[in-house]
């Protein structure tokens, strides 16, 4: 197995077009006994790819190694059944089958000269062991906060005794040895994000009176010993990394150092081969662009390099090479960590290396990727429709299968679905015409990216339009409101209608049965707002779409100077944004703008002076005085063009196929539209298969 063959550090040869300013990004970095071939480090991140999907996982990670990431880590790997995150998807490294399962990934990563890393993980009191039914472990029996529905449990953790601590150290050492057998080059001790070793670091969770509790020197002892046993297990063959969350510790005063974070790092400074530094909770660590700019970790982690001489890696949603170089030159980081930027563009390093920065598909910070983990499914990405599809659908982010004919294709509608479809068809070599009735491309993005916090989402448009504009066999037409006659006369063989969707004024009962509409001169939907029809004066926003739109529209209208009230039948504002780490910030934003939030209520009527509300469970009625009502509820496809076309003599006009993509097929988030447009392009002209995608299976030992 690759573990015995030490590390491959093949030097990658640049195509010669690299901007010399970025040479520093391609310098090798020693991590203990191994050497990263460059400074691009894909830090461990959740992928939803458990040991049940070993081939999906291996190819997902391999694609990043192929794209030039010098280090590619797999996500957290449980070292023992007492660390059982179910129902959330988690990988494990418990037995021989697990070793083989991970070996698929390490071998795949090594094929491209990159190092493979593994984040050995024990969740402590933050997991509830629903499958193993073993008592969760914790320093002092204090449960971890569990406000996320998927995380909640009635089981409280047990207090670890001395034997448990010795077990923990043994599991870590055994996990490290298994990791080495699986071929990993970098093995982690993970003391972050609420997990067990982190719980020992924080005095609120660690109230022990033995040598593992009390002073920082005692609280850090478990982490210290975990690093020591890991080094003993693999130290001369693998780099040993410490991943540590520093947000809470940095906020705590220390009698010995600038903060407890400084003291902890100082006490550990010579032990690991690498420090991987981060924030403490998913909403701050993996913060959405709607509320948090790039580089947000810096004020918390900027001191680490001053305290230790070991290399430091950290993240910041960096997609611009200048920002990366600045992190290195200012002495903040030695390695540029990437999770989301590596999902959105696995080939980001190669593009910089080859002087193709303008081809980078930049992460938009929407956090759909993290929502996949909360949904317990393999990772999805708004910007990169091939993420998670590398093995099961055979989709590569940079390579498309060539066209099968010289057919011409007309794509109607230049929103996310149409743009992605046209670009992917053009990349296959087809002659493509993209037409939109508006004066600009972008579809829903034209309005949505002007809403508070969503400007970064413009990258969905900019990347695609930028690429399309460089392609020769692509014609782009604006202000072209196409009719069926226009299309029949156009002279194409395939038509893709990506004509979007419209928000409606439909409403539901408390039993979620459709119950008609609320219409009137002062009733609006987001489609009205996008068209420039804006309410003036006191406004109720009634949101049962539950994703970002209701909250964002409320913010937008408040920003325009209107008094806004937000009403939802859900338990929180923009309730689904718990999945994208945004929910706490949505509530803060609404409160900051003076927007009153009423949950567990439906709007049942509106007369131009007041909205009538009914409590979801008791039906108790209340009223909110308002001149306008904005309903953010249901969307219906804008598919009239498609249906009208299907009534016509298509064969007579030489048209072989008419399809719908994106919201015109089934309204969804931007991620759905991009995936849909991409899929139509991939499958056009291809033989139809019964098997939509390949099914992976766990490794089973005979």
Residues in contact with ligand ADP by CB under 6 A are 412-418, 435-438, 443-444, 480-482, 498-500, 638, 641, 662-664, 673
Q: Which stretch binds ligand SF4 (CB under 6 A): 291-299, 359-367, 542-550, 678-686?
A: 359-367
Strand, coil or helix: what is 389? coil
- For residue 673, state whether it binds ligand SF4 (rule: CB under 6 A): no
- For residue 381, state whether it binds ligand SF4 (rule: CB under 6 A): yes
Indicate which single residue of 383, 499, 574, 601 sits in contact with ligand SF4 (rule: CB under 6 A).
383
Indicate which single residue of 249, 264, 343, 579 sits in contact with ligand SF4 (rule: CB under 6 A).
343
Minimum distance between the CB of residue 624 and ligand SF4, rounded to whole angstroms?
A: 35
Query: Distance between CA atoms of 634 and 378, rounded to whole angstroms?
Result: 27
Cβ proximity of 121 and 79 under 8 Å: yes
CB-nearer residue toward ligand ADP: 530 or 610: 530
Cβ proximity of 47 and 92 under 8 Å: no
Is 198 part of the annotated catalytic residue set? Answer: no
Minimum distance between the CB of residue 475 and ligand ADP, rounded to whole angstroms?
A: 14
Please return the burial class of 696, using the count of CB atoms within 10 Å of its CB with bins 0-12, 13-18 and 19+.
middle
CB-nearer residue toward ligand ADP: 281 or 438: 438
Tokens of 594: 């003076």
Indicate which single residue of 29, 189, 246, 363 sits in contact with ligand SF4 (rule: CB under 6 A).
363
Tokens of 141: 């029996």
CB-nearer residue toward ligand SF4: 433 or 580: 580
CB-nearer residue toward ligand ADP: 241 or 498: 498
Minimum distance between the CB of residue 668 and ligand ADP, rounded to whole angstroms?
A: 8
Minimum distance between the CB of residue 64 and ligand SF4, rounded to whole angstroms?
A: 12
Q: What is the DSSP string of 338-387?
A: ESHHHHH-TTHHHHHHTT-GGG--------HHHHHHHTTS----SS-TTT
Minimum distance between the CB of residue 364 and ligand SF4, rounded to whole angstroms?
A: 4
Cα 412 from chain centroid?
29
Let me know the angle formed at the C-alpha of 292 by 288 and 298, rounded to the nearest 5 degrees.
115
Cβ proximity of 468 and 435 under 8 Å: no
Binding-site residue total for ligand SF4 (CB under 6 A)?
Answer: 13
Q: Which residues of 137-165 are buried (b: 16+ CB within 10 A; e: fewer)?
A: bbbbebebeeeeebbeeeeebeebeeebb
436 binds, among ligand SF4, ligand ADP, none (CB under 5 to 8 A by kind): ligand ADP
Tokens of 545: 């779409």
Closest CA to 630 of 547, 530, 553, 515: 553
- For residue 369, state whether it binds ligand SF4 (rule: CB under 6 A): yes
Cβ proximity of 7 and 236 under 8 Å: no
Helix (H) or strand (E) run with residue 36 in it: strand 34-36
366 binds, among ligand SF4, ligand ADP, none (CB under 5 to 8 A by kind): ligand SF4
Cβ proximity of 457 and 448 under 8 Å: yes
480 binds, among ligand SF4, ligand ADP, none (CB under 5 to 8 A by kind): ligand ADP
CB-nearer residue toward ligand SF4: 103 or 460: 460
Q: Which residues pair with 477 in a beta bridge?
A: 435
Indicate which single residue of 382, 386, 484, 497 sits in contact with ligand SF4 (rule: CB under 6 A).
382
Bridge-based pairing state of the strands 501-503 and 635-637: antiparallel
415 binds, among ligand SF4, ligand ADP, none (CB under 5 to 8 A by kind): ligand ADP
67 binds, among ligand SF4, ligand ADP, none (CB under 5 to 8 A by kind): none
Of 22, 188, 190, 195, which one is the catalytic site residue?
195
**DSSP 8-state assignment for residue 382:** S
Strand, coil or helix: what is 191? strand
- For residue 344, state whether it binds ligand SF4 (rule: CB under 6 A): yes
CB-nearer residue toward ligand SF4: 218 or 376: 376
344 binds, among ligand SF4, ligand ADP, none (CB under 5 to 8 A by kind): ligand SF4
Helix (H) or strand (E) run with residue 275 in it: strand 274-278
383 binds, among ligand SF4, ligand ADP, none (CB under 5 to 8 A by kind): ligand SF4
- For residue 340, state whether it binds ligand SF4 (rule: CB under 6 A): yes
Query: Distance between CA atoms of 89 and 74, rounded to whole angstroms?
Result: 13
Query: Distance between CA atoms of 74 and 51, rounded to whole angstroms?
Result: 11
- For residue 367, state whether it binds ligand SF4 (rule: CB under 6 A): yes
Binding residues for ligand SF4, rule: CB under 6 A, are: 340, 343-344, 363-369, 381-383
Active site residues: 195
């Amino acid at each position: 197995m690759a573990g015995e063959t030490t590390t491959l550090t093949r030097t990658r040869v640049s195509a010669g077009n690299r901007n010399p300013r970025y040479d520093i990004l391609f310098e090798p970095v020693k991590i203990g006994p191994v050497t990263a071939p460059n400074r691009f480090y894909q830090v461990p991140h959740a992928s939803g790819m458990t040991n049940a999907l070993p081939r999906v996982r291996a190819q997902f990670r391999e694609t990043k190694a192929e794209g030039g990431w010098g280090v590619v880590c797999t996500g957290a790997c449980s070292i023992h059944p007492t660390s059982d995150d179910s129902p959330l998807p988690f990988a494990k490294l418990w037995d021989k089958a697990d070793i083989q399962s991970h070996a698929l990934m390490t071998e795949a990563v090594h094929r491209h000269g990159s190092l493979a890393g593994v984040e050995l993980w024990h969740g402590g009191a933050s997991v509830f062991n629903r499958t193993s039914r073993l008592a969760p472990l914790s320093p002092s029996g204090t449960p971890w906060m569990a406000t996320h529905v998927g995380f909640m449990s009635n089981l409280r953790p047990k207090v670890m005794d001395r034997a448990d601590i010795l077990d923990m150290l043994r599991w870590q050492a055994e996990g490290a040895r298994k990791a080495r057998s699986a071929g990993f080059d970098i093995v982690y001790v993970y003391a972050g994000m609420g997990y067990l070793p982190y719980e020992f670091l924080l005095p609120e969770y660690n109230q022990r009176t033995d040598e593992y509790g009390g002073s920082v020197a005692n609280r850090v002892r478990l982490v210290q010993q975990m690093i020591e046993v890991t080094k003993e297990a693999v130290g001369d063959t693998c780099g040993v990394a410490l991943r540590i969350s520093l947000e809470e510790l940095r906020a705590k005063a220390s009698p010995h150092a600038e903060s407890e974070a400084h003291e902890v790092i100082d006490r550990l400074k010579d032990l690991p081969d690498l420090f991987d530094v981060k924030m403490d909770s998913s909403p701050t660590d993996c913060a959405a662009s709607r509320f948090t700019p790039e580089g947000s970790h810096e004020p918390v982690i900027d001191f680490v390099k001053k305290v230790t001489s070991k290399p430091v890696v950290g993240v910041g949603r960096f997609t611009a090479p200048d920002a990366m170089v600045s992190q290195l030159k200012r002495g903040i980081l030695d390695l540029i960590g990437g999770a989301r930027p590596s999902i959105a563009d696995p080939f980001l390093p190669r593009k910089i290396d080859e002087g193709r920065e303008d081809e980078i598909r930049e992460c938009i910070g929407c956090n759909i990727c993290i929502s996949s983990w909360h949904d317990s499914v393999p990772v999805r990405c708004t910007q990169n429709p091939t993420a998670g599809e590398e093995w099961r659908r055979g989709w590569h982010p940079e390579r498309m299968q060539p066209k099968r004919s010289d057919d011409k294709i007309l794509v109607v509608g230049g929103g996310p679905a149409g743009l992605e479809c046209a670009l992917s068809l053009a990349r296959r070599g087809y002659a493509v015409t993209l037409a939109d009735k508006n004066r600009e491309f972008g579809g829903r993005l034209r309005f949505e990216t002007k809403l508070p916090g969503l400007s970064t989402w413009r990258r969905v448009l900019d990347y695609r339009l930028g690429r399309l504009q460089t392609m020769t066999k692509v014609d782009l037409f604006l202000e072209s409101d196409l009719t069926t006659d226009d299309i029949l006369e156009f002279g194409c063989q395939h038509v893709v209608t990506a004509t979007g969707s419209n928000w409606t004024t439909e409403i539901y009962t408390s039993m979620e049965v459709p119950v008609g509409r609320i219409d009137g001169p002062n009733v609006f939907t987001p489609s009205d707002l996008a068209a420039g029809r804006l309410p003036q004066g006191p406004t109720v926003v009634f949101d049962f779409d539950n994703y970002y739109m209701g909250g964002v529209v409320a913010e937008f209208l408040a920003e325009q100077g209107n008094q806004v009230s937000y009403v939802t039948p859900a338990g929180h504002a923009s309730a689904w944004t718990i999945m994208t780490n945004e929910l706490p910030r949505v509530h803060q934003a609404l409160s900051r703008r003076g927007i009153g939030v009423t949950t567990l209520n439906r709007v049942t009527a509106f007369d131009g002076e007041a909205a009538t509300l009914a409590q979801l469970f008791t039906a108790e009625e209340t009223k909110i005085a308002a001149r306008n009502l904005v309903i953010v509820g249901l969307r219906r496809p804008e598919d009239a063009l498609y249906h009208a076309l299907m009534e016509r003599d298509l064969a007579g006009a030489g048209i072989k196929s008419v399809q719908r993509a994106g919201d015109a097929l089934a309204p969804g988030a931007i991620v759905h539209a991009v995936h849909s447009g991409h899929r139509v392009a991939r499958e056009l002209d291809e033989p139809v298969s019964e098997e939509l995608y390949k099914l992976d299976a766990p490794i089973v030992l005979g």
